[in-house]
Structure 1
Amino acid sequence: MPSFTLTDVGRDLWVENFAIDAASVESPSAHAWSVTKRALRGGRRDGVDLIQVNNGVFTFSIVPTRGMGLWKGHLGGDRVGWDSPVGDGPVNPAFVNLMNWGGLGWLEGFDELVARCGLENNGAPYEEKVTNPDGSERHTTYGLHGKIANIPASFVAVHVGTEPPYEIVVEGHVEESKLFAPQIRMTTRVSTTPGSNRLTVRDEFLNLKDAPGEMQLLYHWNFGPPYLEEGARFVAPVKVMAPRDAWAATAIDHYETYRAPEPGFAEQCYFFELQASQADGRTLTMLRNKAGDKGVVLRFSPAQLPAFTLWKCTGGLKEGYVTGLEPATNYPNPKPFEKARHRVVALPAGGRYVAEMTLEVLSTGQAVAAVEAEIQAIQAQATPTIHRKSTEPFGPQD
């Protein structure tokens, strides 16, 4: 498998422009795939590296400068992603102050198809009081969704297969590490095969410290039209579900459906424990349009990502009409709440944690119906429990 290094901080290596395709590596794939890389200029995107993968059917972009997040995607004439109010993204992290707005500054750069949240924390902002060895106290404020999405990759490489299935892989290393804090290296491999309507994200997290550490992880997958629209539906095999708060509870009877854009709409969130297939231990969720001829599917293992959040943010089209499908190690409550309920990953010295998921983009009614049948078969294993108000252990008792 030929490999091409685009960034390697350890070797002082950085490639500004890169292009490769099936012909240049003598790949006999039936699809004319390509991988390109360029540095963006102007506005808040200035200095951002962008890698575009085109597998011949499905095109998507990776942003090494923003924690190896996935930016925009396209399959056929359909956009896979959303329209963020950020406007001129992908935003260079140099222009994002994570502690703005009382810890909500993360939103200043948020416009990805998928942004990772973590690793020191991944939920709502909170303040922590710590007692020092000398008995004095210090107060530390943690911002929304952590830092990993705003840390540039220190290593980036492209690997291409010259034998079936001719896999295309973009590898990246991102380190969230500082003195007196977690020191974790994420190694990600984003892969696809020529002609496929899928991509897979496989992340491995390594504790670099000589002492035990901990981490939180949430994948913020975000979708707008054409999958999100009035009458669109969220489909999943539910084991247990609870609304995040009293506002979300007001819409509990139609949490799985979507309304048209509503300027000024306040977000609603629902927390899930999902059913897993008895055959392979994996689960899946889907967002499908009203007609049922387009959809996006996430496949993952609840053993790796046991907590799932549905985020409905259906404001005006210019405000960010979007919904989030969010597999995670925990729910996006403040970390102290999650830690008290044993939803923070413990990593021994040198320990590793792996999370993997596949995005599948559907473009026919037959494909959508097949996934719905797959979900219904898993759901048939047990009757779902639906809580009508916020409840333990998902969130504070309402």
Structure 2
Amino acid sequence: MGEGNKPWEGKVGNAQQIGGIETAVLDNGSGKGVRIAWIDTGAGLRYKLVLDRAMDVASASFGAHALSWISQVGITPPSPFTSEGLDWLRTFGGGLVTTCGLSHVGGPEEDEQGKRGLHGSISNLPAEICSVKQPDLGNGDLDMHISGIIRESSVFGPHLVLKRTISGTLGKPYLKIRDEVTNDSNLAAPHMLLYHVNFGWPLIDEGSQIIWSGKWESRDGDLENRIFNEKNDFKSCPPPLKAHAGFGEDVAFIQPEPESDGLCRAGIYNPDLGFALRMSFSKNQLPWLINWQHWGENEYVTALEPGTHPPIGQQQARKDGSLIMLKPGEKRQYELQFDIITGQKDIASFVNHNQ
């Protein structure tokens, strides 16, 4: 639906016939009582937000094809007090986007600053929904968005506030996440943020291409890492691997290469499906990209994770001087966009530019 083009004019009286935002509450299973929102772009892209889990993006599909990986855990209620050790894994539903942070990204750790569990607590906190804007066909306004506030707070601080808006345009297959993180306390507060973007079958399959460019090294620093080594084609999805059973995984830390507009682009292209899912983010806002590969049987997933830091933890970031300390009232803005590419020329440009 290009600007000025109204193929629905005179034929549709309710925008929900094409798409829009629908909120609901799950009433069965592990997610019973959890608030969600379905967003239908009216262009083949449809996705589900979990409002009680930081408005993270759970299932997503384009046409008949799933895009995101859904873990065996699935959707669960928020668990703000399961923030020690590996508790995070007990509520990690996968999904297209799981937010990590806001003050710690990485494994469990403890120091004089306190205890921190895997990847922080923000994804286990519910949002206060502030506004829902639906497309208005009558006025030709096709924009839609849903906005909310998530608070990572404690008495005596820190108080980090995430204002999140997820938006799109009716008739266009994309979604945009716009985040603003504010230190709402009277003391400086540590800040780390990572978007855990998880792709699943059939978008990833044998022969699907993992698209990114930039300098990289394996997390373990081993030049002979079984996946991330110069002799291996680690940008092509393999079949399930027995070596990745259980906790088996391999990870690369990437310094992504921005294009001329300052944006980095990464994603997945499955030639058999005929489309690519492209993710765009600012190098200035999110200077790191992580590629997690976990090809376990029935746990077949790869993730591309833009972040302010690699998942090294607050302790290491403090030691190496990279930890962000937000002053009282200080804000940081982040944008992350996903779009579906179907034209062969556009796909070729995306893939070739990120070889």
Q: 1-side partners of 2:255 and 2:89: how far apart?
A: 27
Q: 2-side partners of 1:227 and 1:367: how far apart?
A: 18
Conserved? CA contact 2:58–2:70, under 8 Å: no
Q: 2-side partners of 1:264 and 1:96: how far apart?
A: 33
Secondary structure, aligned partner of 1:107? helix
Shift of 1:197: 1.3
Distance of aligned partners of 1:323 and 1:247 in 2 relative to their CA distance in 1, 3 Å threshold: farther
Q: 2-side partners of 1:282 and 1:210: how far apart?
A: 34
What letter is aligned with 2:274?
Answer: D
Conserved? CA contact 1:248–1:270, under 8 Å: no
1:178-235: per-residue Cα shift (whole Å, max 9, x none)?
0244211111110011111110000001110122222110000100112211222222
Match of residue 163, structure 2, among 137, 162, 187: 187
Q: 2-side partners of 1:95 and 1:212: how far apart?
A: 22
Give the aligned CA root-mean-square deviation in angstroms. Answer: 2.2
Conserved? CA contact 2:158–2:187, under 8 Å: no
Q: Tell me the equivalent position of 1:136.
A: none
Gaps of 5+ in 1: 1-21, 131-139, 377-398
Secondary structure, aligned partner of 2:315? helix
Distance of aligned partners of 1:37 and 1:61 in 2 relative to their CA distance in 1, 3 Å threshold: same
1:156-179: per-residue Cα shift (whole Å, max 9, x none)?
421134355511101111000102
Q: Tell me the equivalent position of 2:283.
A: 302
Q: 2-side partners of 1:151 and 1:248: how far apart?
A: 39
Q: Tell me the equivalent position of 2:57.
A: 70
Q: Tell me the equivalent position of 2:72.
A: 85
What letter is aligned with 1:116?
Answer: T
Q: Which has the higher helix share?
A: 1
What letter is aligned with 2:104?
Answer: N
Secondary structure, aligned partner of 1:93? coil
Q: What TM-score do the two structures reach when normalised by structure 1? A: 0.78
Q: What TM-score do the two structures reach when normalised by structure 2? A: 0.87
Q: 2-side partners of 1:313 and 1:165: how far apart?
A: 42
Paired residues, number? 333
Q: 1-side partners of 2:202 and 2:224: how far apart?
A: 24
Match of residue 238, structure 2, among 237, 259, 284: 259
Identity of paired residues, percent? 26
Match of residue 152, structure 2, among 176, 190, 193: 176
Shift of 1:316: 0.6
Q: Tell me the equivalent position of 2:125.
A: 151
Q: 1-side partners of 2:35 and 2:13: how far apart?
A: 24
Q: 1-side partners of 2:125 and 2:322: how far apart?
A: 24
Match of residue 99, structure 2, among 113, 116, 130: 116
Q: How does 1:300-379 map to 2 (within 5 A)?
A: 300-317=281-298, 320-363=299-342, 365-375=344-354
Distance of aligned partners of 1:166 and 1:48 in 2 relative to their CA distance in 1, 3 Å threshold: same
Match of residue 211, structure 2, among 228, 235, 248: 235
Match of residue 110, structure 2, among 115, 124, 127: 127
Shift of 1:248: 7.5
